[in-house]
Every structure is written in C-alpha cells, then in structure tokens.
Amino acid sequence: MLGNKECAHLLLAHNAPVKVKNAQGWSPLAEAISYGDRQMITALLRKLKQQSRESVEEKRPRLLKALKELGDFYLELHWDFQSWVPLLSRILPSDACKIYKQGINIRLDTTLIDFTDMKCQRGDLSFIFNGDAAPSESFVVLDNEQKVYQRIHHEESEMETEEEVDILMSSDIYSATLSTKSISFTRAQTGWLFREDKTERVGNFLADFYLVNGLVLESRKRREHLSEEDILRNKAIMESLSKGGNIMEQNFEPVRRQSLTPPPQNTITWEEYISAENGKAPHLGRELVCKESKKTFKATIAMSQEFPLGIESYTRVSHDHSHCDFSGVSI
C-alpha cells in the first residue's frame, strides 16, 4: 500500500503467505492491484500460485487417506438454472453429472461443454483424478466423442501470466465471504392444520428436513485503480454476457497495462497506525472507491441416519479439497 517494494520482495523471498487477509478481507495481491505496480502484482501472483500448489501437495496424503476411508460410491448430480421470465428456463443450461469413486480414484462425467448465445453446446467429457499416479499426471480430461485426452498441468507460460496480470489490473478488485455468524437450523414443517416435522424419502433413504437461515454473502468491490474507460468497458462485457454473448466474438481482448502513477505520499505515522483500534487501522495507499453489498440466503437440507456417509467423512475430504486452488492450473 505504501510502495515499499524492497520490503515486499524480502517477505516473498522468505515465503511469507500471500493468501492472508486483513480485517476488511483484502489480500496483499488486492492491495498491490490497487497501488498499480505491475512488477509487484506479477511477483505476488506467481508466489500465490506457487504456495497454492505446495499447499495442495502438502495435503495430498491426507486427502488420499480420507478418500480411501470414504468407501466406493456412484452419485448423480442434477442441476439447472431457473428464471421468473416465462419460457426462459427452458433454454438456460442444465446438466446431469455422474460421479464415480473407487478407492482413491474419482471420475466425473458431464455433457455441458459451453453456453453462448443462449445455446448449450453438448458433448461427452470426463474429468479423472487418479490418486495412484504422480501429482503431475493425476488429473486427466477425456473427450469421449473425439477420442482425445489432455493432462492438467500447473506450468504456465510467461505470456499467460502477463495476460492474467492485464486482466487483474483492468478489473474490479472483488472480495466475498459467506458469513455464518447468525446461522440457525430449524426443523422443516409440513401440513396445513396439524403441523409436524417434515420427513420424506430421498432416493432410498428416509430423511429429516431442516431449514437453514442466516447465511449471508458479503461482497466488496473496489475500483479506485480503474479509469472511466475501464469501467465502461467492463460494463459492456457484463451486459454482453448477460445476453448470452461470447467475449471472443465481441473482441474484448485484454490490453497490456502499464504501472499506474503512485498515489500521494501518506502522512500517517507509525505510532498512529499501530495504536489504532483493532480492525480499524487508517487506510494506506490509494483512496478507496469501494461498494459493499449483502445478500441473505435460505437453504433446505435433508439428513438421514441411514445414509452410509457421515458428516466426519465428508468434512475430511471437503476440508482438504477446499485448499485445492486451481487458479494456477492450465490445460
């Protein structure tokens, strides 16, 4: 935020964590984008991807152990988008994913390849995770119609990294958190006159239904680093996407960005900064242009004592899998 590049490079050289966030939810990469120094943004992005890969490999043994204990299964996941606009739901994307798990291997089959111009492009793709293979060969994508495959790898070319930096420097800085501070669970009820707890069969299992309230998605969007031209261009992209347009057809190519002019020198002293109230430190760097929004969600869950997978088994896999950051993965 102050442009102290020597300090930042020294921290990166000692592998300081790049994923950390301050009380407002902003990471070092977000603050670097706001400041606008291209070299610093590139260095932080590369370190973020390196640390993400290392985190995945560090947790890989625990993930494989949890998968092995989970037991084999076959699962079908049906999903679709709905709209209040008449007849629109019929053309929105939908799919039925098939998930197979055997030992420490997972396969996911899907038929939805692309959705542009309000048209779904169908195919037959399989994503395979082979837990027995070396990390560099464990992820494979199959095109079952074309009879071809590709391995997912971590390496990126210099050009790909530079293009990603261009996109970061020309886009809103976005932070989102799902707050569960006020979450509550209540039994779902059924019946008009005589209310009773809702219990139904889901597949082959007798399940109790619960209502989940208090899920709040808190999002923050910053754009102090963007010009008026950037904002209008981004708005045009979003409008095109909302109408089912294709970014490639609209020629929305990222423009090579130069470093921004540094913000005015900050006059806040170290004593003022360190003595500020916890979580309310004075802002350093470019003047904030930030928009905050909150959206409350409701959910319904079904839980069955007969289901063969317990909460503990699921959380072990989901916790390790949640650390798998695919921001550095390319095909």
What's the pLDDT tens digit per position in 49-102? Answer: 999 888 888 888 888 888 888 888 888 877 766 656 565 555 566 678 899 999
Tell me phi and psi for residue 134, to 5 degrees: -65, 150
Q: pLDDT at residue 209 above 90?
A: yes
- Residue 318: the pLDDT is 52
- Residue 243: the pLDDT is 62
**How many angstroms separate the CA atoms of 144 and 122, rounded?**
12
Q: How far from chain centre, in Å, is Cα 66? A: 23
Beta strands in the chain (DSSP E): 73-80, 94-102, 105-116, 119-130, 139-143, 148-151, 173-179, 184-187, 189-190, 196-197, 199-202, 205-222, 290-303
Pick 245 or 159 by higher pLDDT.
Answer: 159
Q: pLDDT at residue 179 above 90?
A: no
- Considering its fold, how many domains does the chain have in total? 1
∠ CA(77), CA(83), CA(88), 5° rounding? Answer: 100
Task: Quickly state the pLDDT bin for 162 (edges 50, 70, 90).
Answer: very high
- Residue 182: the pLDDT is 84
- Residue 249: the pLDDT is 53
| Residues 306 and 206 sit within 8 Å (Cβ to Cβ) | yes
- pTM of this structure: 0.72
Q: For the stretch 208-233, what's the b/e string if a residue is b when 16 or more beta carbons lie within 10 angstroms of its beta carbon? A: ebbebeebeeeebebbbbbeeebeee
- Residue 33: the pLDDT is 95
HSE-CB at 198 with a 13 A cutoff on CA atoms is 15
User: What percentage of the chain reaches a pLDDT higher than 90?
Assistant: 29
Task: Quickly state the pLDDT bin for 28 (edges 50, 70, 90).
Answer: very high
- Residue 3: the pLDDT is 77
Residue 159, burial from CB neighbour count under 10 angstroms (0-12, 13-18, 19+): exposed
**Helix-helix angle 28-35:158-169, to 10 degrees:** 70
- Residue 277: the pLDDT is 85
Q: pLDDT at residue 47 above 90?
A: yes
Q: pLDDT at residue 187 above 60?
A: yes
**How many angstroms separate the CA atoms of 236 and 84, rounded?**
24
**How many angstroms separate the CA atoms of 68 and 62, rounded?**
10
- Residue 236: the pLDDT is 82
- Residue 114: the pLDDT is 64
- Which tokens go with 53? 């890969």
- Residue 112: the pLDDT is 75
**Coil, helix or strand for 42?**
helix
What's the pLDDT tens digit per position in 223-275? Answer: 999 999 988 888 887 777 666 555 555 555 667 899 999 988 888 888 888 88
What's the pLDDT tens digit per position in 90-140? Answer: 556 667 889 999 999 999 998 876 655 555 567 888 999 988 888 778 889
What's the pLDDT tens digit per position in 281-312? Answer: 788 888 889 999 988 888 888 888 887 666 66
- Residue 41: the pLDDT is 95
- Residue 280: the pLDDT is 78
Using the structure block, give the residue that is written with the tokens 């399989």: 126
Which one-letter amino acid corresponds to residue 153? H
Q: Whole domain around residue 282: which residue ranges?
A: 5-327
Task: Quickly state the pLDDT bin for 196 (edges 50, 70, 90).
Answer: very high
- Residue 233: the pLDDT is 86
Which candidate, 128, 101, 98, 161, places its Cα nearest to that of 327? Answer: 161
